[in-house]
Structure 1
Amino acid sequence: MPDPKRPHSSVASNFQADADRLFVRSAARAIHVLSAFHDADGPLSLTDIAAKAEIDRSAAQRLVHTLMSLGHIRRSADDRGYLPGLRLLDHTHDTLRLDPVVQVATPVILEMRKSLSERIDFSLYDETRVIYALRMQSKRETFYATLVGHSVPTFCTAGGRATLSALPVAEAREIIDRFPLHQYTSQTNIDPDSIMERLEKARRDGFALVENEFVMGEVAVGVPILNRQGRPLGAIHIAGSLSEWSVEDFSRSTAPIAQEAARAINASF
Protein backbone atom coordinates (compact mmCIF):
# COMPACT_ATOMS: atom_id res chain seq x y z
CA MET A 1 0.00 0.00 0.00
CA PRO A 2 1.66 3.27 -1.07
CA ASP A 3 2.41 6.01 1.39
CA PRO A 4 1.69 9.66 0.60
CA LYS A 5 4.66 11.08 -1.27
CA ARG A 6 7.14 12.75 1.05
CA PRO A 7 8.88 15.63 -0.76
CA HIS A 8 12.63 15.52 -1.20
CA SER A 9 13.21 16.96 -4.67
CA SER A 10 16.55 18.66 -5.21
CA VAL A 11 14.86 20.83 -7.84
CA ALA A 12 12.73 22.44 -5.13
CA SER A 13 15.83 22.94 -2.99
CA ASN A 14 17.64 24.65 -5.85
CA PHE A 15 14.80 27.12 -6.21
CA GLN A 16 14.86 27.74 -2.46
CA ALA A 17 18.64 28.18 -2.47
CA ASP A 18 18.38 30.77 -5.24
CA ALA A 19 16.00 32.83 -3.11
CA ASP A 20 17.62 32.28 0.31
CA ARG A 21 21.24 33.25 0.97
CA LEU A 22 21.25 31.29 4.24
CA PHE A 23 20.24 28.04 2.52
CA VAL A 24 23.07 25.44 2.57
CA ARG A 25 22.95 23.31 -0.58
CA SER A 26 25.30 20.63 0.76
CA ALA A 27 23.10 20.09 3.81
CA ALA A 28 20.07 19.85 1.55
CA ARG A 29 21.78 17.24 -0.63
CA ALA A 30 22.56 15.14 2.46
CA ILE A 31 18.88 15.27 3.42
CA HIS A 32 17.93 14.23 -0.13
CA VAL A 33 20.21 11.21 0.18
CA LEU A 34 18.49 10.16 3.41
CA SER A 35 15.09 10.87 1.82
CA ALA A 36 15.90 8.46 -1.02
CA PHE A 37 14.84 5.64 1.31
CA HIS A 38 11.28 6.97 1.76
CA ASP A 39 9.72 4.76 -0.91
CA ALA A 40 12.33 1.98 -0.94
CA ASP A 41 11.33 -1.63 -0.29
CA GLY A 42 14.88 -2.82 0.40
CA PRO A 43 18.54 -1.76 0.31
CA LEU A 44 19.51 0.85 -2.28
CA SER A 45 22.61 0.93 -4.47
CA LEU A 46 24.63 4.12 -5.00
CA THR A 47 23.03 4.41 -8.43
CA ASP A 48 19.57 4.13 -6.86
CA ILE A 49 20.40 6.77 -4.26
CA ALA A 50 21.83 9.15 -6.86
CA ALA A 51 18.72 8.82 -9.02
CA LYS A 52 16.25 9.25 -6.16
CA ALA A 53 18.18 12.18 -4.67
CA GLU A 54 18.59 13.75 -8.14
CA ILE A 55 22.36 14.13 -7.80
CA ASP A 56 25.26 12.58 -9.73
CA ARG A 57 26.79 9.29 -8.61
CA SER A 58 30.06 10.90 -7.49
CA ALA A 59 28.22 13.28 -5.15
CA ALA A 60 26.09 10.40 -3.89
CA GLN A 61 29.22 8.38 -3.10
CA ARG A 62 30.76 11.21 -1.08
CA LEU A 63 27.57 11.92 0.82
CA VAL A 64 26.88 8.26 1.55
CA HIS A 65 30.44 7.82 2.83
CA THR A 66 30.03 10.84 5.12
CA LEU A 67 26.67 9.68 6.42
CA MET A 68 28.01 6.17 6.98
CA SER A 69 30.88 7.62 9.01
CA LEU A 70 28.30 9.38 11.20
CA GLY A 71 26.11 6.28 11.57
CA HIS A 72 23.18 7.67 9.57
CA ILE A 73 23.58 5.15 6.73
CA ARG A 74 24.77 1.54 6.96
CA ARG A 75 25.58 -1.31 4.61
CA SER A 76 22.92 -4.01 4.28
CA ALA A 77 23.64 -7.40 5.84
CA ASP A 78 24.30 -8.96 2.41
CA ASP A 79 26.63 -6.03 1.54
CA ARG A 80 24.71 -5.37 -1.68
CA GLY A 81 23.34 -1.95 -0.82
CA TYR A 82 22.64 0.68 1.81
CA LEU A 83 20.01 1.16 4.50
CA PRO A 84 19.21 4.00 6.92
CA GLY A 85 21.49 3.94 9.96
CA LEU A 86 20.40 3.27 13.50
CA ARG A 87 21.41 6.76 14.64
CA LEU A 88 18.45 8.18 12.73
CA LEU A 89 16.32 6.68 15.50
CA ASP A 90 17.96 9.13 17.90
CA HIS A 91 16.41 11.97 15.89
CA THR A 92 13.02 10.27 15.89
CA HIS A 93 13.24 9.92 19.65
CA ASP A 94 14.19 13.58 20.03
CA THR A 95 11.34 14.69 17.77
CA LEU A 96 8.74 12.79 19.76
CA ARG A 97 10.02 13.46 23.28
CA LEU A 98 10.37 17.20 22.66
CA ASP A 99 7.13 17.73 20.74
CA PRO A 100 4.72 19.51 23.14
CA VAL A 101 1.63 17.99 21.50
CA VAL A 102 2.98 14.45 21.88
CA GLN A 103 3.96 15.18 25.48
CA VAL A 104 0.38 16.18 26.33
CA ALA A 105 -1.30 13.52 24.18
CA THR A 106 0.65 10.52 25.47
CA PRO A 107 -0.97 10.15 28.94
CA VAL A 108 -4.40 10.85 27.43
CA ILE A 109 -3.97 8.12 24.81
CA LEU A 110 -2.72 5.70 27.47
CA GLU A 111 -5.84 6.45 29.53
CA MET A 112 -8.03 5.77 26.48
CA ARG A 113 -6.57 2.26 26.26
CA LYS A 114 -8.33 1.45 29.55
CA SER A 115 -11.71 2.02 27.87
CA LEU A 116 -11.06 0.59 24.40
CA SER A 117 -9.48 -2.58 23.04
CA GLU A 118 -9.46 -1.31 19.44
CA ARG A 119 -6.47 0.35 17.79
CA ILE A 120 -5.86 3.89 19.02
CA ASP A 121 -3.48 6.19 17.16
CA PHE A 122 -2.30 9.74 17.56
CA SER A 123 -0.96 11.53 14.50
CA LEU A 124 0.59 14.89 13.66
CA TYR A 125 -0.81 17.03 10.85
CA ASP A 126 1.32 17.70 7.74
CA GLU A 127 -1.19 19.09 5.21
CA THR A 128 -1.53 16.30 2.63
CA ARG A 129 -0.78 13.60 5.20
CA VAL A 130 -0.83 12.81 8.89
CA ILE A 131 2.17 11.10 10.52
CA TYR A 132 1.67 8.57 13.30
CA ALA A 133 3.42 9.58 16.52
CA LEU A 134 1.74 7.15 18.98
CA ARG A 135 0.20 3.75 18.24
CA MET A 136 -1.76 1.52 20.62
CA GLN A 137 -2.32 -1.70 18.72
CA SER A 138 -5.23 -4.10 18.70
CA LYS A 139 -4.99 -7.81 17.89
CA ARG A 140 -5.32 -7.22 14.13
CA GLU A 141 -2.20 -5.56 12.82
CA THR A 142 0.38 -5.69 10.04
CA PHE A 143 4.05 -4.82 10.30
CA TYR A 144 3.71 -1.34 8.75
CA ALA A 145 0.61 -0.54 10.81
CA THR A 146 2.64 -0.79 14.01
CA LEU A 147 5.37 1.68 13.04
CA VAL A 148 5.61 5.21 14.42
CA GLY A 149 6.47 7.53 11.53
CA HIS A 150 4.15 5.79 9.09
CA SER A 151 2.07 8.38 7.25
CA VAL A 152 -1.35 8.24 5.59
CA PRO A 153 -3.14 10.71 3.32
CA THR A 154 -5.50 13.28 4.76
CA PHE A 155 -8.13 13.03 2.02
CA CYS A 156 -9.33 9.45 2.71
CA THR A 157 -8.50 8.64 6.34
CA ALA A 158 -10.43 9.42 9.49
CA GLY A 159 -7.65 11.35 11.20
CA GLY A 160 -6.78 13.14 7.99
CA ARG A 161 -10.32 14.25 7.29
CA ALA A 162 -10.70 15.31 10.90
CA THR A 163 -7.75 17.68 10.52
CA LEU A 164 -8.95 19.01 7.15
CA SER A 165 -12.41 19.63 8.60
CA ALA A 166 -10.85 22.13 11.03
CA LEU A 167 -9.49 24.28 8.20
CA PRO A 168 -11.29 27.03 6.29
CA VAL A 169 -13.15 25.48 3.35
CA ALA A 170 -10.98 27.10 0.68
CA GLU A 171 -7.76 25.95 2.36
CA ALA A 172 -9.01 22.38 2.74
CA ARG A 173 -10.03 22.33 -0.93
CA GLU A 174 -6.59 23.58 -2.02
CA ILE A 175 -4.93 20.72 -0.13
CA ILE A 176 -7.26 18.14 -1.65
CA ASP A 177 -6.71 19.52 -5.15
CA ARG A 178 -2.93 19.47 -4.60
CA PHE A 179 -2.73 15.79 -3.60
CA PRO A 180 -2.95 12.98 -6.21
CA LEU A 181 -6.14 11.20 -5.16
CA HIS A 182 -4.99 7.59 -5.27
CA GLN A 183 -7.61 4.85 -5.00
CA TYR A 184 -6.31 2.76 -2.09
CA THR A 185 -9.32 0.43 -2.15
CA SER A 186 -12.29 -0.05 -4.46
CA GLN A 187 -14.27 2.24 -2.16
CA THR A 188 -11.82 5.12 -1.79
CA ASN A 189 -13.60 8.39 -2.46
CA ILE A 190 -11.52 10.30 -5.02
CA ASP A 191 -14.14 12.88 -6.01
CA PRO A 192 -13.06 16.27 -4.60
CA ASP A 193 -16.61 17.61 -4.31
CA SER A 194 -17.78 14.51 -2.45
CA ILE A 195 -14.75 14.67 -0.14
CA MET A 196 -15.59 18.28 0.67
CA GLU A 197 -19.11 17.17 1.59
CA ARG A 198 -17.63 14.58 3.95
CA LEU A 199 -15.49 17.30 5.51
CA GLU A 200 -18.56 19.45 6.09
CA LYS A 201 -20.29 16.53 7.83
CA ALA A 202 -17.19 15.95 9.98
CA ARG A 203 -17.21 19.65 10.86
CA ARG A 204 -20.86 19.42 11.98
CA ASP A 205 -20.45 16.12 13.85
CA GLY A 206 -17.14 16.96 15.51
CA PHE A 207 -15.54 13.78 14.16
CA ALA A 208 -14.77 12.11 10.83
CA LEU A 209 -15.99 8.61 10.02
CA VAL A 210 -14.38 6.49 7.29
CA GLU A 211 -15.16 2.93 6.24
CA ASN A 212 -13.34 0.78 3.66
CA GLU A 213 -11.61 3.77 2.06
CA PHE A 214 -8.02 3.22 3.12
CA VAL A 215 -8.16 -0.38 4.38
CA MET A 216 -10.90 -2.77 3.32
CA GLY A 217 -12.86 -4.13 6.24
CA GLU A 218 -11.88 -1.26 8.54
CA VAL A 219 -13.99 1.49 10.07
CA ALA A 220 -12.30 4.44 11.76
CA VAL A 221 -13.24 7.55 13.71
CA GLY A 222 -10.99 10.61 13.76
CA VAL A 223 -11.12 13.73 15.96
CA PRO A 224 -8.87 16.77 15.41
CA ILE A 225 -6.43 18.22 17.93
CA LEU A 226 -6.43 22.02 17.66
CA ASN A 227 -4.37 24.95 18.85
CA ARG A 228 -5.87 28.09 20.41
CA GLN A 229 -6.50 29.54 16.95
CA GLY A 230 -8.47 26.46 15.91
CA ARG A 231 -5.74 25.22 13.56
CA PRO A 232 -5.15 21.45 13.37
CA LEU A 233 -2.11 20.06 15.14
CA GLY A 234 -2.95 16.39 14.76
CA ALA A 235 -5.70 13.85 15.32
CA ILE A 236 -6.84 10.94 17.43
CA HIS A 237 -7.87 7.89 15.39
CA ILE A 238 -9.74 4.83 16.59
CA ALA A 239 -10.03 1.90 14.14
CA GLY A 240 -12.04 -1.31 14.27
CA SER A 241 -13.01 -4.25 12.10
CA LEU A 242 -16.28 -4.26 10.16
CA SER A 243 -16.48 -7.99 10.85
CA GLU A 244 -17.02 -7.10 14.52
CA TRP A 245 -18.77 -3.72 14.36
CA SER A 246 -21.51 -2.02 12.40
CA VAL A 247 -20.56 1.50 11.35
CA GLU A 248 -23.29 2.99 13.54
CA ASP A 249 -22.34 1.03 16.66
CA PHE A 250 -18.66 1.80 16.19
CA SER A 251 -19.16 5.54 15.84
CA ARG A 252 -21.63 5.62 18.74
CA SER A 253 -19.22 3.73 21.01
CA THR A 254 -15.92 5.37 20.09
CA ALA A 255 -16.57 8.93 18.90
CA PRO A 256 -17.54 10.29 22.36
CA ILE A 257 -14.39 8.78 23.90
CA ALA A 258 -12.20 10.29 21.19
CA GLN A 259 -13.91 13.68 21.51
CA GLU A 260 -13.46 13.72 25.28
CA ALA A 261 -9.78 12.87 24.88
CA ALA A 262 -9.36 15.57 22.26
CA ARG A 263 -10.88 18.17 24.56
CA ALA A 264 -8.41 17.20 27.28
CA ILE A 265 -5.48 17.66 24.88
CA ASN A 266 -6.86 20.84 23.29
CA ALA A 267 -7.13 22.49 26.69
CA SER A 268 -3.32 22.69 26.79
CA PHE A 269 -3.00 24.57 23.51
Structure 2
Amino acid sequence: MAPRKGTEGENDTGTLGKLMVLLDLVTHAERPLRFTDILAQANQPRGTLHRQLGHLVEEGLLELDADGRYSPGLRLLDLAARSWAKNEFRLIAEPHLRALQAMSGETVHLGVLRGTSIIYLDKVEGQQSVRMYSQIGNASPVYCTGVGKAALSVLPDATVAALAAAIPFQRFTEHTLASPESLLAELSDIRREGCAFDREEHEQGIRCVAAPIWTADHSLVGGVSITGPAYRLTMERLAEWAGPVRAAAESIMEGMRIRLGPRR
Protein backbone atom coordinates (compact mmCIF):
# COMPACT_ATOMS: atom_id res chain seq x y z
CA MET A 1 0.00 0.00 0.00
CA ALA A 2 1.41 3.42 -0.95
CA PRO A 3 2.20 5.76 1.94
CA ARG A 4 -0.54 8.28 2.65
CA LYS A 5 -0.30 11.56 4.49
CA GLY A 6 -2.93 12.14 7.13
CA THR A 7 -4.98 15.30 7.32
CA GLU A 8 -4.49 15.85 11.04
CA GLY A 9 -0.74 16.42 11.23
CA GLU A 10 0.22 12.75 11.05
CA ASN A 11 3.51 11.91 9.34
CA ASP A 12 3.87 8.82 7.18
CA THR A 13 5.59 6.79 9.92
CA GLY A 14 2.86 7.58 12.45
CA THR A 15 0.14 6.72 9.96
CA LEU A 16 1.73 3.38 9.09
CA GLY A 17 2.07 2.50 12.76
CA LYS A 18 -1.61 3.26 13.36
CA LEU A 19 -2.64 1.21 10.35
CA MET A 20 -0.64 -1.71 11.69
CA VAL A 21 -2.42 -1.39 15.04
CA LEU A 22 -5.76 -1.65 13.24
CA LEU A 23 -4.63 -4.68 11.25
CA ASP A 24 -3.47 -6.34 14.46
CA LEU A 25 -6.78 -5.64 16.20
CA VAL A 26 -8.89 -7.06 13.39
CA THR A 27 -6.73 -10.07 12.55
CA HIS A 28 -6.36 -11.15 16.20
CA ALA A 29 -10.05 -10.78 17.02
CA GLU A 30 -12.02 -13.99 17.48
CA ARG A 31 -14.90 -12.56 15.44
CA PRO A 32 -15.39 -9.70 12.92
CA LEU A 33 -15.40 -6.31 14.65
CA ARG A 34 -17.81 -3.40 14.30
CA PHE A 35 -16.51 0.15 14.03
CA THR A 36 -17.48 0.81 17.64
CA ASP A 37 -15.50 -2.24 18.79
CA ILE A 38 -12.38 -0.94 17.05
CA LEU A 39 -12.96 2.61 18.25
CA ALA A 40 -13.01 1.40 21.86
CA GLN A 41 -9.59 -0.25 21.46
CA ALA A 42 -7.71 1.87 18.92
CA ASN A 43 -7.35 5.12 20.90
CA GLN A 44 -7.84 7.25 17.78
CA PRO A 45 -10.30 10.03 16.90
CA ARG A 46 -13.48 8.78 15.23
CA GLY A 47 -12.81 10.64 11.96
CA THR A 48 -9.21 9.44 11.69
CA LEU A 49 -10.21 5.87 12.45
CA HIS A 50 -13.02 5.89 9.87
CA ARG A 51 -10.64 7.21 7.19
CA GLN A 52 -7.89 4.70 7.99
CA LEU A 53 -10.25 1.74 8.00
CA GLY A 54 -11.50 2.96 4.63
CA HIS A 55 -7.96 2.97 3.25
CA LEU A 56 -7.39 -0.60 4.48
CA VAL A 57 -10.65 -1.76 2.88
CA GLU A 58 -9.76 -0.02 -0.40
CA GLU A 59 -6.41 -1.82 -0.49
CA GLY A 60 -8.00 -5.21 0.22
CA LEU A 61 -6.23 -5.62 3.57
CA LEU A 62 -9.56 -5.56 5.40
CA GLU A 63 -13.08 -6.47 4.31
CA LEU A 64 -16.29 -4.75 5.41
CA ASP A 65 -19.42 -6.88 5.30
CA ALA A 66 -23.03 -5.82 4.85
CA ASP A 67 -23.53 -5.74 8.62
CA GLY A 68 -20.70 -3.24 9.12
CA ARG A 69 -18.18 -5.70 10.52
CA TYR A 70 -14.49 -5.68 9.62
CA SER A 71 -12.49 -8.87 8.98
CA PRO A 72 -9.06 -9.66 7.43
CA GLY A 73 -8.96 -9.14 3.67
CA LEU A 74 -7.85 -11.64 1.06
CA ARG A 75 -4.86 -9.48 0.15
CA LEU A 76 -3.38 -10.25 3.56
CA LEU A 77 -3.61 -13.95 2.75
CA ASP A 78 -1.95 -13.39 -0.63
CA LEU A 79 0.88 -11.36 0.92
CA ALA A 80 1.40 -13.96 3.64
CA ALA A 81 1.45 -16.80 1.11
CA ARG A 82 4.01 -15.02 -1.08
CA SER A 83 6.20 -14.17 1.90
CA TRP A 84 6.01 -17.74 3.22
CA ALA A 85 6.82 -19.25 -0.18
CA LYS A 86 9.90 -17.05 -0.63
CA ASN A 87 11.23 -17.23 2.93
CA GLU A 88 14.81 -18.43 2.50
CA PHE A 89 15.11 -19.78 6.03
CA ARG A 90 12.06 -21.98 5.52
CA LEU A 91 13.26 -23.12 2.10
CA ILE A 92 16.66 -24.11 3.48
CA ALA A 93 15.06 -25.94 6.41
CA GLU A 94 12.27 -27.74 4.55
CA PRO A 95 14.13 -30.91 3.42
CA HIS A 96 15.52 -31.38 6.94
CA LEU A 97 12.05 -31.01 8.46
CA ARG A 98 10.71 -33.65 6.11
CA ALA A 99 13.60 -35.97 6.93
CA LEU A 100 12.86 -35.67 10.66
CA GLN A 101 9.18 -36.36 10.02
CA ALA A 102 10.01 -39.43 7.93
CA MET A 103 12.38 -40.70 10.64
CA SER A 104 9.99 -40.15 13.57
CA GLY A 105 6.53 -40.28 12.03
CA GLU A 106 5.67 -37.29 14.26
CA THR A 107 4.98 -33.60 13.63
CA VAL A 108 7.99 -31.34 13.02
CA HIS A 109 8.06 -27.59 13.63
CA LEU A 110 10.29 -24.70 12.54
CA GLY A 111 10.04 -21.49 14.55
CA VAL A 112 11.72 -18.11 14.98
CA LEU A 113 12.06 -15.92 18.05
CA ARG A 114 10.10 -12.66 18.13
CA GLY A 115 10.31 -10.91 21.48
CA THR A 116 9.00 -13.28 24.13
CA SER A 117 7.19 -15.48 21.59
CA ILE A 118 8.02 -18.13 19.03
CA ILE A 119 6.41 -17.74 15.61
CA TYR A 120 5.91 -21.00 13.70
CA LEU A 121 7.24 -20.67 10.14
CA ASP A 122 6.66 -24.22 9.01
CA LYS A 123 5.04 -27.44 10.16
CA VAL A 124 5.22 -30.94 8.69
CA GLU A 125 2.33 -33.01 10.00
CA GLY A 126 2.96 -36.42 11.51
CA GLN A 127 1.60 -39.63 10.04
CA GLN A 128 -1.10 -39.64 12.72
CA SER A 129 -2.42 -36.09 12.99
CA VAL A 130 -2.85 -34.86 16.56
CA ARG A 131 -4.81 -31.77 17.46
CA MET A 132 -2.44 -29.15 18.86
CA TYR A 133 -2.27 -25.37 19.06
CA SER A 134 0.62 -24.86 16.66
CA GLN A 135 -0.18 -23.57 13.18
CA ILE A 136 1.99 -21.71 10.71
CA GLY A 137 1.93 -18.07 11.76
CA ASN A 138 0.80 -18.76 15.31
CA ALA A 139 2.79 -17.45 18.26
CA SER A 140 3.58 -19.44 21.42
CA PRO A 141 5.37 -18.38 24.62
CA VAL A 142 9.12 -18.98 24.67
CA TYR A 143 9.25 -20.21 28.26
CA CYS A 144 7.03 -23.27 27.88
CA THR A 145 7.78 -24.55 24.38
CA GLY A 146 10.72 -26.62 23.23
CA VAL A 147 11.57 -24.38 20.28
CA GLY A 148 11.24 -21.30 22.49
CA LYS A 149 13.57 -22.55 25.20
CA ALA A 150 16.05 -23.83 22.61
CA ALA A 151 16.12 -20.39 20.98
CA LEU A 152 16.67 -18.61 24.29
CA SER A 153 19.57 -20.90 25.12
CA VAL A 154 21.84 -19.42 22.44
CA LEU A 155 21.30 -15.76 23.35
CA PRO A 156 23.76 -13.75 25.49
CA ASP A 157 23.06 -13.85 29.23
CA ALA A 158 22.09 -10.17 29.38
CA THR A 159 19.56 -10.59 26.56
CA VAL A 160 18.04 -13.68 28.19
CA ALA A 161 17.79 -11.91 31.55
CA ALA A 162 15.99 -8.95 29.97
CA LEU A 163 13.56 -11.23 28.11
CA ALA A 164 12.89 -13.34 31.20
CA ALA A 165 12.08 -10.20 33.18
CA ALA A 166 9.58 -9.15 30.50
CA ILE A 167 7.73 -12.49 30.29
CA PRO A 168 4.24 -12.53 31.87
CA PHE A 169 4.58 -16.06 33.23
CA GLN A 170 1.31 -18.00 33.08
CA ARG A 171 0.66 -21.61 34.03
CA PHE A 172 -0.84 -23.55 31.13
CA THR A 173 -0.38 -26.94 32.83
CA GLU A 174 1.02 -28.22 36.10
CA HIS A 175 4.39 -28.61 34.35
CA THR A 176 4.73 -25.02 33.10
CA LEU A 177 7.79 -23.08 34.25
CA ALA A 178 6.37 -20.26 36.35
CA SER A 179 9.24 -17.88 37.11
CA PRO A 180 12.36 -16.31 35.58
CA GLU A 181 14.49 -18.32 38.02
CA SER A 182 13.08 -21.68 36.89
CA LEU A 183 13.52 -20.72 33.24
CA LEU A 184 17.13 -19.58 33.69
CA ALA A 185 17.95 -22.80 35.58
CA GLU A 186 16.56 -24.93 32.75
CA LEU A 187 18.43 -22.92 30.13
CA SER A 188 21.69 -23.95 31.79
CA ASP A 189 20.76 -27.60 31.20
CA ILE A 190 19.75 -26.89 27.61
CA ARG A 191 23.06 -25.19 26.85
CA ARG A 192 24.93 -28.19 28.24
CA GLU A 193 22.85 -30.80 26.38
CA GLY A 194 22.29 -28.86 23.15
CA CYS A 195 18.57 -29.59 23.13
CA ALA A 196 15.37 -28.59 24.93
CA PHE A 197 12.33 -30.58 26.00
CA ASP A 198 8.71 -29.57 26.37
CA ARG A 199 7.35 -31.85 29.09
CA GLU A 200 3.65 -31.06 28.59
CA GLU A 201 4.38 -27.46 29.58
CA HIS A 202 2.23 -25.60 27.04
CA GLU A 203 -0.38 -28.20 26.19
CA GLN A 204 -1.41 -31.11 28.36
CA GLY A 205 -0.52 -34.38 26.68
CA ILE A 206 1.94 -32.84 24.17
CA ARG A 207 5.73 -33.29 24.38
CA CYS A 208 8.63 -32.34 22.15
CA VAL A 209 12.39 -32.24 21.75
CA ALA A 210 13.97 -29.20 20.07
CA ALA A 211 17.36 -27.83 19.03
CA PRO A 212 18.37 -24.21 18.43
CA ILE A 213 19.11 -22.53 15.11
CA TRP A 214 20.86 -19.17 14.95
CA THR A 215 23.07 -16.89 12.91
CA ALA A 216 26.38 -15.61 14.25
CA ASP A 217 25.03 -12.10 14.80
CA HIS A 218 21.73 -13.37 16.27
CA SER A 219 19.75 -11.60 13.55
CA LEU A 220 17.87 -14.88 13.27
CA VAL A 221 17.27 -17.14 16.25
CA GLY A 222 14.87 -20.04 16.30
CA GLY A 223 14.68 -23.80 16.44
CA VAL A 224 13.40 -27.08 15.07
CA SER A 225 11.44 -29.71 17.01
CA ILE A 226 9.72 -33.08 16.89
CA THR A 227 6.35 -32.93 18.65
CA GLY A 228 3.68 -35.47 19.48
CA PRO A 229 1.37 -36.97 22.09
CA ALA A 230 2.85 -37.92 25.46
CA TYR A 231 1.47 -41.45 25.26
CA ARG A 232 3.69 -42.09 22.22
CA LEU A 233 6.58 -39.74 22.96
CA THR A 234 8.04 -40.99 26.21
CA MET A 235 10.97 -39.02 27.59
CA GLU A 236 13.19 -41.96 26.66
CA ARG A 237 12.00 -41.76 23.04
CA LEU A 238 12.56 -38.00 22.95
CA ALA A 239 16.08 -38.46 24.31
CA GLU A 240 16.79 -40.90 21.44
CA TRP A 241 15.63 -38.30 18.93
CA ALA A 242 17.68 -35.46 20.45
CA GLY A 243 20.69 -36.42 18.28
CA PRO A 244 18.82 -36.34 14.94
CA VAL A 245 17.14 -33.05 15.89
CA ARG A 246 20.50 -31.47 16.77
CA ALA A 247 21.96 -32.79 13.50
CA ALA A 248 19.06 -31.30 11.52
CA ALA A 249 19.57 -27.93 13.24
CA GLU A 250 23.29 -28.02 12.39
CA SER A 251 22.53 -28.89 8.76
CA ILE A 252 20.05 -26.02 8.51
CA MET A 253 22.61 -23.59 9.94
CA GLU A 254 25.25 -24.83 7.51
CA GLY A 255 22.79 -24.39 4.64
CA MET A 256 22.12 -20.84 5.78
CA ARG A 257 25.84 -20.04 5.95
CA ILE A 258 26.36 -21.33 2.41
CA ARG A 259 23.25 -19.84 0.81
CA LEU A 260 22.92 -16.52 2.65
CA GLY A 261 26.62 -15.87 3.02
CA PRO A 262 27.68 -12.29 3.82
CA ARG A 263 24.12 -11.02 4.14
CA ARG A 264 23.99 -12.63 7.57
Fold conserved (TM > 0.5)? yes
1:45 equivalent to 2:45? Answer no
- Does the 8 Å contact 1:35/1:53 carry over to 2? no
1:148 equivalent to 2:136? Answer yes
Distance apart, 1:143 and its partner CA: 7.5
- Does the 8 Å contact 1:240/1:250 carry over to 2? no
- Does the 8 Å contact 2:130/2:229 carry over to 1? no
Identify if the C-alpha distance between structure 1 residues 206 and 54 changes in structure 2 by more than 3 Å, giving closer, same or farther: same
- Does the 8 Å contact 2:112/2:121 carry over to 1? yes
Written as runs of structure 1 = structure 2, the 5 A alignment for 1:82-231 is 82-138=70-126, 139-142=128-131, 144-145=133-134, 147-229=135-217
Structure 1 unmatched runs, 5+: 1-20
Q: For the residues of structure 2 that align with 1:38 and 1:251, how far apart are their CA atoms?
A: 38
Distance apart, 1:23 and its partner CA: 5.9
Q: For the residues of structure 1 that align with 2:111 and 2:144, how far apart are their CA atoms?
A: 15
Greater displacement, 98-107 / 216-225: 98-107
Q: For the residues of structure 2 that align with 1:107 and 1:22, how far apart are their CA atoms?
A: 45
Percent identity for Structure 1 against Structure 2: 26
Greater displacement, 207-216 / 52-61: 52-61
Q: For the residues of structure 2 that align with 1:47 and 1:228, how far apart are their CA atoms?
A: 47
Higher helix share: 2
Distance apart, 1:231 and its partner CA: 6.4
TM-score when normalising by structure 1: 0.84
Name the aligned partner's letter for residue 212 of structure 2: P
Structure 2 unmatched runs, 5+: 1-9, 258-264
Written as runs of structure 1 = structure 2, the 5 A alignment for 1:250-265 is 250-252=238-240, 254-265=241-252
SS of the residue 2:26 aligns to:
coil
Residue of structure 2 equivalent to 1:12: none
SS of the residue 1:113 aligns to:
helix
Greater displacement, 215-224 / 91-100: 91-100
Q: For the residues of structure 1 that align with 2:248 and 2:76, how far apart are their CA atoms?
A: 31
TM-score when normalising by structure 2: 0.86
1:27 equivalent to 2:4? Answer no
- Does the 8 Å contact 1:121/1:135 carry over to 2? yes
Residue of structure 2 equivalent to 1:75: 64
Identify if the C-alpha distance between structure 1 residues 111 and 259 changes in structure 2 by more than 3 Å, giving closer, same or farther: same
Name the aligned partner's letter for residue 61 of structure 1: H
Tell me how many residue pairs correspond in the alignment: 246
Distance apart, 1:208 and its partner CA: 0.5
Name the aligned partner's letter for residue 114 of structure 2: D
Residue 66 of structure 1: which of 55, 73, 77 is its match?
Answer: 55
Q: For the residues of structure 2 that align with 1:231 and 1:205, how far apart are their CA atoms?
A: 23
- Does the 8 Å contact 1:166/1:231 carry over to 2? no
- Does the 8 Å contact 2:109/2:224 carry over to 1? yes
Residue of structure 2 equivalent to 1:55: 44
Distance apart, 1:53 and its partner CA: 2.6
Q: For the residues of structure 2 that align with 1:226 and 1:158, how far apart are their CA atoms?
A: 15
1:245 equivalent to 2:233? Answer yes
Provide, for residues 131-180 of structure 1, a one-character-per-residue CA deviation record: whole Å limited to 9, x for no partner.
Answer: 011011233433753x3100101111100000000012221121011111
Q: For the residues of structure 2 that align with 1:88 and 1:144, how far apart are their CA atoms?
A: 22
Name the aligned partner's letter for residue 87 of structure 1: R
